[in-house]
């Protein structure tokens, strides 16, 4: 059921367009996925799958698919992080951020991870990405998605915006603020969004957004770029939030967003005290584009941008500090016996939390005192006299990085994903298990049987 108060407001705002808008809410939602360029070439992937897909206009890696005939979430390629299933309109904000390799970037409200993984892809493994989520359960999902997509240069934190603003004044080159909102744009995708909607919640969300944006402003470096986005239609949370922010922060200005067919400019007439340049923002309506409702604004902070950072050393510390080679002999033995020399960078910036070993991103800040779920790339577990590689390391690596791997077909991969062992010929030891060239996890070969090391919590039933 669409709330009556919502219908009344949208009828007043849209006028003659309202009937088309209302009809669109009764239609089927669009399904899309975003290819992971760190793992897959679009041409090769399309040839491998043979799926009938079409391009999302505002995202080069985005593709629509027919949810009635295709189920990419159940395909082994999904487990391998070859793509991320994402609502098509939600792909726009990260494109607007224009993330570059070597920068310091913050995704302030990052769960479940669609925008963070999209930003990380643009960074090409270089620079520092901090992906933050205030809610612990959602932060765990965020961490799992960052792992699945093979991302090595990100910290996943579970902090408040206020706490981060205290620690990172003028630190980031770019900040993504995909703000918590009333979710009106998700009504046809998620029935609960309509059931939970209220005018009071719109006002509460708008006030919360003001606080989040204020914290983000403190963390953005001079010359930096900030993208603000929501999945709601409410002017109070869109043009209103931007206008209130710019009034309080005159050092920021709106940057135009290139518009694809069907995209609408923000409406200054929908707010009482509009900021200058609201036509530079973008609205996505479901009766105009193939996607859900969305809003995006790009704002730049005055001052000279620092340009891409060249990190020569860590700027902070973690746990007991960076480990020396003599402190991780078991890990180094695993590297020499399992990986190729091209993976030498996996022996630098090592940190240990209890028995867990991580590769800290280059240029990582001091994380002492912060709630950190994932301090970089999880390499594995230090056990007595040996090292056991982690699932995140497998998804980061490719077949060219390892000395031994097992190449499976899609059908054979199903056996592996269920946690079963299988016969295999080759040298004993750790093998990277792959499907059509995409890494899935680890296996350990002994006496012709591949022992399955796919995480139990991820196994298919």
Cα angle 255-270-266, degrees, rounded to a multiple of 5: 25
**Tokens representing 164?**
């981060």
- Is residue 231 among the annotated active site residues? yes
Write 262-270 long-range contacts (CB < 8 A, 24+). 262/288, 262/289, 263/58, 263/288, 263/289, 264/288, 266/238, 266/239, 266/242, 266/295, 266/297, 267/13, 267/235, 267/239, 268/239, 270/13, 270/235, 270/239
Burial 18-32 (b: 16+ CB within 10 A, else e): eeebeebbeeebbbb
Q: Which tokens belong to 57? A: 């206009």
Task: For residues 339 and 346, give the distance between their C-alpha atoms in angstroms, rounded to a whole number.
Answer: 10
Does the CA dihedral 220-121-347-307 come out positive or negative? negative
* Secondary structure, 3-state, 217-234: HHHEEEEEEEEEEECCCC
Reduce the secondary structure of 47-72 to three states and give it as a string: HHHCCCEEECCCCCCEEEECCCCCCH
351 touches 366 (CB < 8 A): no
Q: In whole angstroms, what separates CA 207 from the centre of its chain? A: 25
**Among 181, 231, 343, 434, the one annotated catalytic:** 231
User: Mutual orientation of helices 114-123 and 136-148 as an angle, nearest 10°?
Assistant: 40
- Rounded CA gap, 10 and 68, in Å? 31
Instruction: Note the Cα 202 to chain centre separation in Å.
Output: 26
Number of C-beta neighbours around residue 38 at 10 A: 19
* Active site residue ranges: 231
């Amino acid at each position: 059921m669409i709330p009556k108060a919502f219908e009344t407001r949208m009828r007043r705002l849209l006028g003659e367009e309202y009937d088309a808008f209302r009809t669109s809410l009764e239609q089927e939602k669009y399904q899309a996925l975003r290819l992971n360029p760190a793992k897959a070439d679009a041409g090769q992937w399309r040839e491998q799958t043979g799926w009938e897909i079409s391009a999302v206009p505002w995202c080069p890696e985005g593709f629509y698919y027919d949810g009635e005939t295709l189920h990419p979430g159940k395909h082994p390629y999904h487990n391998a992080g070859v793509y991320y299933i994402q609502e098509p309109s939600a792909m726009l904000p990260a494109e607007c951020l224009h993330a570059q390799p070597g920068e310091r970037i913050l995704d302030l409200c990052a769960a479940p991870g669609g925008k963070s993984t999209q930003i990380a892809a643009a960074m090409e493994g270089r620079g520092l990405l901090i992906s933050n989520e205030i809610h612990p359960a959602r932060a765990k999902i965020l961490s799992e998605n960052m792992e699945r997509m093979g991302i090595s240069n990100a910290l996943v934190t579970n902090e408040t915006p206020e706490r981060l603003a205290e620690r990172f004044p003028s630190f980031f080159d770019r900040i993504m603020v995909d703000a918590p909102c009333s979710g009106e744009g998700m009504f046809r995708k998620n029935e609960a969004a309509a059931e939970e909607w209220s005018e009071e919640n719109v006002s509460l969300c708008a006030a919360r957004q003001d606080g989040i944006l204020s914290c983000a402003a403190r963390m953005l470096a001079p010359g930096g770029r900030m993208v603000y986005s929501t999945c709601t239609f409410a002017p109070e949370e869109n043009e209103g939030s931007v206008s209130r922010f710019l009034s309080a922060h005159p050092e920021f200005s709106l940057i135009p967003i290139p518009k694809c067919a069907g995209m609408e400019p923000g409406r200054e007439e929908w707010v009482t005290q509009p900021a200058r340049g609201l036509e530079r923002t973008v609205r996505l309506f479901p009766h105009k584009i193939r996607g859900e409702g969305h809003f995006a604004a790009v704002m730049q902070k005055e001052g000279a941008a620092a340009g891409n950072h060249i990190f020569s050393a860590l700027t902070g510390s973690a746990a007991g500090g960076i480990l020396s080679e003599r402190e991780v002999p078991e890990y180094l033995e695993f590297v020499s016996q399992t990986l190729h020399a091209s993976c030498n960078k996996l022996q630098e910036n090592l940190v240990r939390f209890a028995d867990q070993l991580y590769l800290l991103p280059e240029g990582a800040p001091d994380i002492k005192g912060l709630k950190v779920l994932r301090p970089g790339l999880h390499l594995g577990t230090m056990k007595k006299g040996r090292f056991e590689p982690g699932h995140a390391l497998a998804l980061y690596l490719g077949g060219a990085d390892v000395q031994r791997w097992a190449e499976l077909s899609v059908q054979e991969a199903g056996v592996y994903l269920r946690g079963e062992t299988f016969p295999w010929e080759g040298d004993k030891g750790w093998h990277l298990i792959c499907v059509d060239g995409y890494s899935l996890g680890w296996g350990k070969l002994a006496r012709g049987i591949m022992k399955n090391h796919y995480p139990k919590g991820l196994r298919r039933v």
